[in-house]
Structure 1
Amino acid sequence: MSISLILVPLAMATVAAATAAGRRDDAGRVVCQVQTRMRDETLLAAALRDTGAAVAAGTDEITADWAGVRAEFRRGPDGIWAAHLRGDVDEERAVEIVRSVDAAYGRQVQGAVLQRLRAQAPAAGLRLESEEVTEDASVRLVFAVGEGDR
């Protein structure tokens, strides 16, 4: 089976349905719109690897292979990613895969932001006092203001 997904940025999520809205393209393939926050191709490739995919990345195109399913992610001229899934996949599984990738992408973004905060804190006169990962996987950082900044 073959399914194409249009990955709509969260900024446009109010336009997209909360769940996949299926339709068919001119070739008869099922096309779904799925909300996503994926923009950065490096983080997307890392998120795909986190879901167990074998990943090959190129300019504005990423291919991910799981057991029995291949996804080709392409960024259109409007910056929106589209994913075409084929193999052992139906509409429900395609949406499940993309949601799993989106969750992994969120974790990648969180890690990148944390890394940037840790790296930039000293230049801002801050010293990391403690770091706690909560039950819901959110991270609480406590910074102390340096002595020279008071």
Structure 2
Amino acid sequence: MGPSTNDILGLPRPLDGLGNGVLAFDIGAYEFNLLATVGTNWLLNYGLNPNDPLVFASHPNGIPFTVLQAWVADANPTNAASFLQAAAVSNLPPVMVYFQSSSNRIYSLVWSADPQTNWAPVAGQAYVRGTGGLMSLADASAPGQQRFYRVSVAVP
């Protein structure tokens, strides 16, 4: 193998990643730093320790959602009442699902005939920007068969 060069971080490449004296190319990817995406201030605002390596997998106050799920939902990780939940559902055509939204997130209405498998987005109701208040997503094409619905949230 040829001589070692440096990557954009100044680390030698190829690298002796196994510590056995043999230089070898790695896959070339950099580790994803979730803390850099979320930010320490967000964690500190809720009294969470940004230096805890398991902070994003934790369940503060016994809440059934992780800190990472709270961040994705733009919710308070220490208050279960702040998480995304249906406020109301109208089963008259069109089926409407109402929920409190965040203007910093996008929402999708998905459906399935079997809640264990095969969830699919409702046409025209995927990746809809939140309003910051009560909003609804609708399924105008719901046939006469039974359907189950979920609202998913994502970071834009």
- What TM-score do you get using the length of structure 1 for normalisation? 0.24
Structure number having the greater helix percentage: 1
- What TM-score do you get using the length of structure 2 for normalisation? 0.24
Relative contact order: is structure 1 or structure 2 higher (C-alpha 8 Å, sep ≥ 6)? 1
Structure number having the greater strand percentage: 1
